[in-house]
Amino acid sequence: MIRQVLYPTPDEWPALTQRPVQQLAAIEPAIQAIFERVKAEGDAGLRALTEKFDGVLLNNFWVTENEITAATGFVAPELQIAIQKAAQNIKAFHEQQREPSRRIETVNGVTCWRKSVPIDKVGLYIPGGSAPLFSTLLMLGIPAQLAGCRNIILCTPPAKDGSVHPAILYTAGLLGITKIVKVGGAQAVAALAFGTESIPAVHKIFGPGNQYVTVAKQLVGKLGVAIDMPAGPSEVLVMADATANPAFVAADLLSQAEHGPDSQVVLLSESVDFVTQVEAELEVQLKVLPRREVAQKALNNSLGVVLPSVDQMLAFSDLYAPEHLILAVENYEQVAEKVTNAGSVFLGNYSSESFGDYASGTNHTLPTNGFARAYSGVSLDSFVKKITFQEISAAGLQQLGKTVETMAAAEGLDAHKNAVSIRLKQLESL
């Protein structure tokens, strides 16, 4: 079921923490061809690509107001209530991330401050199809609006009848997002990056997708269009001791495994018996999952690692740097304080990773593939730029001028020095 590794030494850990290699470079030529067609042909190119990949010929890419309004009738009332509750929690959590601008006088007459300014144009990519990720629209749309982004363009692929999944439209309507484009895949990334006659280019692109969307985002990132973060298959690492519930742990592993065959799940435990109990639970729970074949493939590439202590488990986890980390251990609060590399952490036996995916309030757009060593998940900060300001008064010029002159001269940048010297001389003449 999952590969067991018993008491590996720290020298063996780096090999165990390697993710399966993604052969994405092979599809770059296809993505480049899509980019060139969209740049050259604009809307006509998009129309042809949408017909080719989505099986529908669209006269108009934009979702109408009537379509957004009508979507409510196709979303079950209990789902509407669930989406509303999740939206409230996500908004409450992200609102607290605002940073006030604070002025600091570093020396007398020298005042510095930093201000958060919203990114003017952002593009949100939301996958559709059999698993429309309306939850991701909440995770991206809410902080974009809280940040004050003036232009939010939502791209999502159409069904073969030209419609967009009603749950996505309902969520967009709830958030007040009205600029919705029926375009998916790499061609949607191209439209957002380069613009067409009808679709404006944006400054930053957010959202998950298949390998074509992932590579397309990586390529536009090299062309000067910002993206949220490097993306890869979903992953979870569970640290479990004798206080953990094997059925809970198995359920958490499966909830991640069902994302896709390239998802990775890792179980760390102090006990071989516990890993065996979890494997038995996996067998039982897997049988009733509609996506069991997908989950099974993911489990085949996953690990159950037995280590002698919680401290060693934590060290292994920090090396792995998981997207999601579940601490099903007795002293989880103390252990959580020591975590240095993780996208999002879930504490205790009742904190299923599913809560973070949907409704607890934290953002589920998180770094994968070890990028949690250096990247954060999406937050309010992702939708703003931090601009610094400084004001130098006459007193500040006199206080700090000599310091700048000396440093500029030492670097051989005489024009830098002169820009200060000319001002000091003018002050001296007064």
Per-residue pLDDT of 388-415, as tens digits, reads: 999 999 999 999 999 999 999 999 999 9
Same domain, 144 and 255: no
Same domain, 354 and 243: yes
- Between CA 333 and CA 195 the distance in angstroms is 48
pLDDT at 211: 87
383: in domain: no
Q: Is 9's pLDDT higher than 80?
A: yes
Same domain, 189 and 306: no
**Is 311 assigned to a binding site?**
no
Same domain, 84 and 206: yes
- Encode pLDDT of 328-338 as tens digits: 999 999 999 99
Mean pLDDT across the chain: 95
Say how many domains are in the chain.
Answer: 3
Query: What range does the domain containing 352 cover?
Result: 3-21+232-361
Mean pLDDT of 110-121: 98
Compute the radius of gyration of the chain from its Cα atoms.
26
Same domain, 44 and 167: yes
- Encode pLDDT of 288-346 as tens digits: 999 999 999 999 989 999 999 999 999 999 999 999 999 999 999 999 999 999 999 99
Same domain, 283 and 180: no
CATH of the domain at 157: 3.40.50.1980
Q: Is 324 a catalytic residue?
A: yes
Which residue of the set 281, 323, 353, 364 is catalytic?
Answer: 323
Same domain, 140 and 289: no
44: in domain: yes
Mean pLDDT of 147-173: 97
Which residue of the set 324, 330, 364, 405 is catalytic?
Answer: 324
CATH of the domain at 411: 1.20.5.1300
**Is 151 assigned to a binding site?**
no
Strand order in the sheet with 384-392: 104-107, 110-118, 384-392
Quick one: what percent of the chain has pLDDT higher than 90?
A: 92
Q: Nearest to residue 131, comparing CAs of 383, 285, 357?
A: 357
**Is 94 assigned to a binding site?**
no
Same domain, 218 and 236: no
185: in domain: yes
Strand partners, 328: 240
Mean pLDDT of 111-137: 93
Of 342, 361, 380, the residue that ends a domain is 361
Mean pLDDT of 20-45: 91
CB 83 within 8 A of CB 89: no
Q: Is 354's pLDDT higher than 70?
A: yes
Q: Nearest to residue 61, comparing CAs of 155, 130, 141?
A: 155
**Is 125 assigned to a binding site?**
yes
Same domain, 85 and 125: yes
Same domain, 61 and 195: yes
Same domain, 284 and 167: no
Q: Which two tokens stand for residue 224?
A: 């000067």
Per-position b or e across 61-91, b if 16+ CB within 10 A of its CB: bebeeebbeebeeebeeeeeeebeebbebbb
Same domain, 129 and 80: yes
Of 211, 227, 243, the residue that ends a domain is 227
- Between CA 301 and CA 333 the distance in angstroms is 30
Confidence of residue 99 (pLDDT cuts 50, 70, 90): very high
113: in domain: no
313: in domain: yes
pLDDT at 231: 78
Of 185, 208, 227, the residue that ends a domain is 227
368: in domain: no
373: in domain: no
263: in domain: yes
Per-position b or e across 9-34, b if 16+ CB within 10 A of its CB: eeeebeeebeeeeeeeeeeeeebeeb
pLDDT at 130: 66
Q: Which two tokens stand for residue 359?
A: 């409704």
pLDDT at 1: 76
**Is 324 assigned to a binding site?**
yes
In the chain, the amino acid numbered 350 is: Y
pLDDT at 227: 96
